[in-house]
Structure 1
């Protein structure tokens, strides 16, 4: 409401300034009219002065006509002081009449203009009140929109904080994953190196195993050969042993037979000899 009153007062001030400018324009127009009227007054006064001079006598006119010089103007004839006084009086009368007419016309026009301006001011005040009501509705609507926008901003700020927290968590997880990746990369490199070493060790073990297999095969062949030789040697040994025992028995028997008592002993030892022969055959 104060805003509407302020607008109305401002419009009234502008209208009053317009009235003043209008009155100033009318005064200036009256001044211009007076300036245009002054040459007429000078001419009229010149005619009156000429008539007075002609009624007084023609001596001066005859003198002036007899001369071959240029005639002075009507404004320059007669007493300059009286002429100036008469011109001033007539100018004052005309100015007063113009001022009175101007004041009356100015008052009438001013009242009419003021009434029109007051009506326009009232209309402007009503328009300002209507505009104020519209602006008030706009302000209320904007305030509601501002509150809604603030709520949206608050909600978006909360969402932004949550998103920032999620981003921070994602960055931390990415850093941890990167650290784990580095650790796993080192572990893979170490495992690859170990695999290379293991492959080399396995290759050396396979080569050593092949060599040992060859040695075992050679040892087996040697054992088989030695076993065959041992079996052959045992057979030879048994045969030699049998032959030696037989030779010893024959020599003993020959010795016994050669002694006087040999026959009796031989007769007694025959069964024993047979008993000895039986175990010998079992060993063979």
Structure 2
């Protein structure tokens, strides 16, 4: 009987210790999480909620209390606005021009630099160096390269690419690819270096070709980082702003006006803050749809 009581006391003591341990872990977790939640609430969730509220109003930025509630009117106007659809098409066109080269190019660079070649450290530095530049520097640099007296028109012709309806958006895409390759390159290089060498050794013993090893080993082993960069690259490309703003200011004839640039001009030039908020929320929902679709087709089997 006494032994049973001792076992019961020990069990109760263990439960108490477990409860105390769980409480301490919860307190520690809350201590680390609360500062982030406060910052996110102030600078992320708060502005998101305010923007949604603004999108239902004819917003008066100088006297917000005088703003008039108009319901879904901003969204109705948006859906029938040819300038919005033009900006959406320009954005999709830019995404189509820039995303595939960024993803494929960064993958090829990562696989190439991973090989046992001399000066790998120098190649990594050269390939990554564009990413340390700001968008302003990139825009100004490539504006000179594509100008009438720049290197590209000198060798390829076409005059000033940035004043051409057909060449302005490809010029912005080229500058973006050159700039954004570096970020994906570093991620994919790290992912490639984490693929176990024993897999390639076993494949070589079985007589597998380089293409077969890339298809059956390299790409599957790098699937998680590849899904990540695909989603991030799509999201970043849909939000392009700095490059067209600096290089073309949306021209010529609005042929490079993207959604974010259109939002900016609507808000800060047209002073239509409620309508601009509606544009922002449409873009927000579009980005969610693009991210979900990308993950569904590329990452549903990712562990």
Measured against the shorter chain, the TM-score band is under 0.3
What TM-score, normalized by structure 2, do the two folds share?
0.18
What TM-score, normalized by structure 1, do the two folds share?
0.19
